[in-house]
Structure 1
């Protein structure tokens, strides 16, 4: 689910246009036409193909040169921009975070765009 500026949840929808490359999706609120969805590329996941505990997602192809690598998007700050490090654990160990940062750097991404997300104190119902 996503969250709008007023703090309301809304369902997100993912679409895979090319089943031969399922790591490249388009994602957006289901009330919008798919043509307005943004790119969501899973560029790394692990630790194994059948057990994803963490991953790196790029908001489409990195097309902007940053300070220390490339930045996803075209610089318009609209759709198709961003870099995310994901973990199933809302408070991952620092070693996991550092490994993801190292992998993103190895893939050529500029990490200066990353913003910390604090999950401390958040609750996540088991049924979601």
Structure 2
């Protein structure tokens, strides 16, 4: 799989516009498999609500539990996020434990989700697009790359989303294992390079020794 990714045409950093990214698409994305087990973030961009000081034990659990959002009758997955401040097993970042809702808003591409607090309608939700997925032989997901919409900020090694605000921001490398293998990390970076997305803005998330105390894990 890595060789196939590396065989993709490399993005030309001299190009004036940021490349239009492609997501995995409905044919290769299963929301049921996505929510089957918790995810552990390996690397992520800085955001207003995700400073570097919160890059400890970052994890997410998604559930299909019949949640609804205003003015939408499509499929909704609840999102439970976890992170520590300042150190492994430190104070909780999201102590208020606000529940988010991921919505399958795109009728032609189910891998282009949108996320917002559950009380907000879709018009206020931010893009949450699945750029790539690593699949095991049995079809289960090993890793995934998620971006907060179309990249429009240029860096020397590619384009990415903004690092401020809430919507249209963010880039995350996911793994089913708390600590992903170097091979998995390499595949995710190769995917980003092939799509012309900057890797230089990513920061490592510390997962070694995390206990995820009180987290809704599965």
- TM-score bracket, shorter-length normalisation: 0.7 to 0.9
Separation in structure 2 between the aligned mates of residue 62 and residue 50 of structure 1, nearest angstrom:
29
Deviations 1:83-106 (A, max 9, x none): 111110010111211221111111
Q: Return the offset for 1:121.
A: 2.1
TM-score (norm: length of structure 2): 0.52
The structure whose RCO (Cα within 8 Å, separation 6+) is larger is: 2
Deviations 1:61-88 (A, max 9, x none): 111211210112xx47211111111110
Contact 2:81 2:94 in 1 (8 A): no
TM-score (norm: length of structure 1): 0.84
The range that moved more, 43-52 or 100-109, is 43-52
Aligned length: 126
Separation in structure 2 between the aligned mates of residue 39 and residue 114 of structure 1, nearest angstrom:
18
- Alignment of 1:38 with 2:126, yes or no, is yes
- Alignment of 1:77 with 2:164, yes or no, is yes
Query: Which consecutive aligned stretches of 4+ in structure 1 deviate over 6 angstroms post-superposition?
Result: none
**Structure 1: any 5+ residue segments left out of the alignment?**
none
Taking structure 1 as reference, are residues 122 and 65 closer, same or farther at Cα in structure 2, changes over 3 Å only?
Answer: same
Q: Return the offset for 1:7.
A: 2.3
Separation in structure 2 between the aligned mates of residue 2 and residue 126 of structure 1, nearest angstrom:
9
**1:93 pairs with one of 157, 181, 184:** 181
Structure of greater Rg? 2
Q: Return the offset for 1:126.
A: 8.3
Separation in structure 1 between the aligned mates of residue 216 and residue 81 of structure 2, nearest angstrom:
18
Separation in structure 1 between the aligned mates of residue 110 and residue 124 of structure 2, nearest angstrom:
19
Q: CA RMSD in A?
A: 2.4
* Higher-strand-fraction structure: 1
**1:2 pairs with one of 81, 86, 99:** 81
Separation in structure 1 between the aligned mates of residue 100 and residue 93 of structure 2, nearest angstrom:
15
Taking structure 1 as reference, are residues 115 and 127 closer, same or farther at Cα in structure 2, changes over 3 Å only?
Answer: closer
**2:104 pairs with one of 1, 8, 16:** 16
